[in-house]
């Protein structure tokens, strides 16, 4: 089935299926999850460096490096699920349906927004094309699964009376939430509304505007990619409390093709509080027979006695109408959110939540959606701040109002807030930190930097670029230009290694000691990297996402042997002995999870060892590995309790990259680095031991190992 292959793409292989949906239905709630399952596949573009060209005008154009057909024979629609992929700043993925030509373009930013998946495509085959920019390194795309539709439709109804009176609608202010099978819609302040129970579970990932009619057998179809919007999972604000107390608000990313929000492209509803409209219209994507199934339909009915927080009406609905706007037919304005069916062939009423529900009314009118600086537009290489843990810095963090936003791209601080990462970074003479900053309210000190302790003014560490205070302490390093105060993002690049070096933790500063603490700072697109290299590739990038990668276990420990999985986070006696989560991706190699609590499967009864395979080095390279070690009890077994991270070069003796003896250590992901020369062969080894003394808690792990050309 392969169309073409440039350089090192690898064709896909179907491996099996996992059944998905529909969900068990609520008693009266009305979602209608799309019938689908997952086919396990593999496809790999291979790793590519610096394709395309830079024109005389300085404009970069990406070059095509891999192209292929991915198909699952006979299915009505499909969606790609991506594996371990790296999209460069000027690289892109193009995916096109072979049935109708719908094409989605994913660059580094939109790839992250779509959270490891593509839009939906009609038909049983797509063409995938990967273009790599001339200065992008280690670019790669992997597909490891395809979600595919199943033929047919669910069978749910809530029709008021003996017949279904819904008719086709072209109202583009409403969309289908896929694959949960609900309805969402836009209001004129930019927010999107649906039923709370549509946001309470999974399957609420995509908003499809104006999808086409279903097949004659009722199998849903999808609109082109320029009418599909990825839903921001962190944006959900909802209550799933039953009739009259069921509402949801959410946001979507800009469309990956047009760059627009749905309100700008498709319109929106005005809305008001009103229980009295005589005629109610419900528009949405309820199930039906034939090609009408889960397509845009509408019907009007009488207001049957709305009161308080509940709208009641006899407009026809079906499963899939959950979240539809409750519309006053006379004014075309929304007065509530449809949530529950209650009609039958003998009558009754359907119902929704009115805007007199106080928390709903407050939420739809709350600020946001324009109060901040907007999309920071981060590129590849941006540090995902969600992978770090943060705690208070020094004695300065009196407000402690810090939140990670924009899917991990942004640290937002308000009030008198100073925070630092618990993880350390190896700052070398060549280390640079790039970031963007925005603020609409100035504080006394806005700064960024690194520190190896929690003492503020013992050494110059913090690069201050804005603030009203004339900070004269030793901790300050002046950074120019000063922020312009516009409220929009301004970019900075700081050669940190020219000021200091060492193992340091990242520090964000938003200082104001008195008065109204409305000062804020948005630190976005943080990228920490090394300069001075020739820009080659990597001989190794191992994050254990596909298994142990050739690492082997040994030693004589009774429990705690190294496994691949997700560390579950353990603390006991005030000491963190195991980290929570991998350093990169989902998996790490570590001393087993502790599902039964602290001490259930920690390292006990001897030494646990994990040893890498031999890695061949093709160019002078930097070797990097992230590790953690946690130990609660100190001083009771000086010979038997230890941790060592070691390297062997060209079969020689093991030498230490990092070691701890019988001391208390709080576990945190920490980077260890060294160098290797062209032609070397290297191995890594991690050793951790619990001696004969009873009661010790000891854990260890390793992740995100790389050998990359300098």
Tens-digit pLDDT profile for residues 143-164: 999 999 999 765 555 677 788 8
**Nearest-angstrom CA–CA distance, 507 and 496:** 13
Please write the tens of the pLDDT for every residue from 203-214: 889 999 999 999
From residue 296, give the alpha-carbon distance in Å to each of 76, 209, 269. Answer: 19, 9, 16
pTM score > 0.85 for this model?
no
Of 702, 429, 367, the residue nearest 564 (C-alpha): 702
Provide the sign of the torsion angle of the four alpha carbons 362, 363, 368, 369, taken in this order. negative
pLDDT above 50 (res 122)? yes
CA distance 240 to 28: 12
Per the model's pLDDT, the better-predicted residue between 484 and 451 turns out to be 451
| Section 76-90 average pLDDT | 90
Q: Residues 458, 460, 463, 464: what is their CA dihedral angle, to the nearest 10 degrees?
A: 60
Q: Per-residue pLDDT tens for 357-409? A: 999 998 888 654 334 677 788 876 688 898 888 999 988 887 778 888 887 88
Determine the 3-state secondary structure of 681 from DSSP.
Answer: strand
Residues contacting 209, CB < 8 A, separation 6+ = 172, 175, 223, 227, 228, 229, 262, 265, 266
What integer is the mean pLDDT of 474-481? 88
Read off the DSSP letter of residue 292: G
Given this model, what pLDDT does residue 278 score? 96
Whether the per-residue pLDDT at 57 is higher than 80: the answer is no
**pLDDT in the model for residue 190:** 80
pLDDT digits (tens, 9 = 90+) for 159-180: 777 888 899 999 999 999 999 9
Which residue bears the tokens 């006899």?
Answer: 314
For the cut 50, the answer to whether the pLDDT of residue 27 exceeds it is: no
Strand ranges in 400-497 using DSSP code E only, listed in sequence order:
401-405, 410-414, 417-427, 431-438, 445-451, 462-466, 476-478, 490-494
Report residue 8's pLDDT band, with 50, 70 and 90 as the boundaries. very low
Instruction: Identify the pLDDT of residue 201.
Output: 81
Nearest to 404 by CA among 422, 384, 423, 374: 384
Mean pLDDT lowest among 487-501, 588-602, 638-652? 588-602
Give the per-residue pLDDT at 99.
96
- Taking alpha carbons only, the member of 391, 402, 685 closest to residue 555 is 685
CA separation for the pair 327, 246 (Å, rounded) = 17
Instruction: Looking at 54-138, list the stretches that DSSP marks H as alpha helix, in order from N- to C-terminal side.
Output: 108-113
Structure tokens at 317: 């609905």
Of 245, 201, 218, 221, the C-alpha closest to 25 is 201
Q: What is the pLDDT of residue 13?
A: 42
């Amino acid at each position: 089935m392969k169309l073409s292959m440039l350089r090192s793409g690898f064709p896909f292989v179907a491996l099996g299926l996992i059944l998905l949906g529909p969900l068990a239905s609520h008693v009266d709630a009305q979602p209608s999850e799309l019938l689908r399952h997952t086919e396990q596949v593999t496809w790999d573009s291979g790793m590519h460096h610096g394709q395309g060209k830079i024109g005389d005008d300085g404009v970069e154009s990406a070059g095509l490096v891999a192209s292929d057909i991915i198909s699952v024979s006979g299915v009505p629609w499909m969606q790609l699920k991506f594996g371990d992929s790296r999209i460069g700043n000027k690289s892109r993925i193009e995916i096109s349906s072979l049935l109708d030509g719908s094409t989605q373009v994913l660059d580094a930013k939109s790839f992250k927004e779509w959270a490891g998946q593509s839009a939906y495509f009609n038909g049983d085959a797509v063409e995938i094309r990967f273009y790599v920019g001339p200065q992008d390194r280690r670019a790669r795309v992997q597909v490891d699964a395809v979600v595919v539709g199943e033929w047919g439709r669910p069978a749910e109804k809530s029709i008021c009376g003996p017949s279904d009176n819904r008719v086709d609608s072209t109202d583009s202010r409403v969309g289908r939430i896929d694959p949960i099978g609900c309805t969402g819609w836009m209001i004129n302040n930019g927010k999107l509304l649906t039923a709370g129970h549509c946001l309470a579970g999974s399957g609420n990932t995509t908003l499809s505007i104006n999808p086409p009619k279903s097949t004659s057998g009722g199998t849903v179809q999808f609109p082109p990619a320029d009418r599909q919007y990825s839903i921001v999972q962190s944006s959900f604000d909802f209550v799933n409390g039953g009739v009259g107390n069921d509402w949801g608000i959410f946001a979507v990313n800009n469309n990956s093709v047009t760059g627009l929000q749905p309100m700008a492209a498709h319109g929106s509803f005005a809305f008001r509080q009103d229980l009295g409209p005589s005629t109610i219209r419900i528009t949405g994507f309820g199930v039906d027979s034939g090609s009408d199934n889960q397509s845009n339909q509408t019907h009007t009915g009488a207001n049957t006695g709305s009161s308080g927080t509940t709208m009641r009406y006899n407009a026809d609905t079906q499963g899939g109408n959950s979240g539809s706007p409750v519309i006053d037919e006379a004014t075309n304005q929304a007065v509530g959110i449809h949530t529950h069916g209650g009609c039958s062939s003998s009558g009754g009423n359907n119902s929704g939540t009115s805007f007199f529900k106080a928390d709903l009314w407050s939420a739809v009118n709350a600020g946001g959606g324009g109060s901040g600086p907007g999309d920071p537009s981060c590129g590849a290489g941006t540090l995902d701040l969600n992978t770090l843990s943060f705690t208070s810095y020094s004695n300065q963090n009196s407000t402690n109002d810090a939140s990670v936003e924009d899917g991990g791209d942004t640290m937002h601080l308000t009030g008198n807030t100073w925070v630092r990462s618990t993880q350390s970074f190896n700052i070398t003479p060549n280390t640079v930190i790039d970031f963007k900053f925005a603020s609409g309210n100035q504080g006394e000190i806005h700064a960024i930097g690194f520190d190896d302790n929690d003492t503020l003014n013992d050494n110059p560490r913090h690069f201050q670029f804005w603030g009203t205070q004339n900070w004269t302490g030793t901790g300050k390093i002046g950074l120019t230009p000063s922020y312009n105060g516009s409220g929009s993002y301004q970019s900075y690049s700081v050669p940190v290694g020219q000021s200091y070096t060492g193992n340091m933790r990242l520090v964000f500063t938003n200082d104001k000691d008195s008065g109204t603490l409305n000062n804020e700072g948005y630190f976005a697109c943080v990228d920490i990297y090394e300069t001075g290299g020739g820009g080659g590739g990597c001989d190794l990038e191992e994050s254990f996402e596909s298994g142990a990668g050739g690492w082997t276990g040994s030693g004589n420990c009774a429990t705690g042997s190294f496994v691949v999985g997700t560390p579950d986070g353990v603390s006991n006696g005030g000491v963190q002995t195991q980290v929570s989560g991998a350093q990169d991706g989902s998996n790490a190699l570590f001393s087993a999870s502790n599902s039964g609590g602290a001490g259930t499967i920690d390292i006990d009864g001897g030494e646990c060892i994990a040893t890498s395979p031999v890695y061949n080095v093709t160019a002078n390279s930097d070797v990097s590995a992230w590790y953690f070690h946690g130990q609660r009890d100190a001083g009771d077994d000086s010979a038997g309790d230890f941790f060592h991270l070691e390297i062997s070069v060209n079969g020689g003796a093991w030498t230490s990259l990092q070691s701890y003896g019988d001391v208390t250590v709080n576990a945190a992901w920490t980077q260890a680095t060294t160098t290797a020369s062209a032609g070397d062969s290297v191995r890594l080894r991690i050793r951790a031991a619990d001696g004969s003394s009873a009661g010790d808690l000891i854990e260890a792990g390793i992740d995100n190992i790389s050998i990359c050309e300098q």
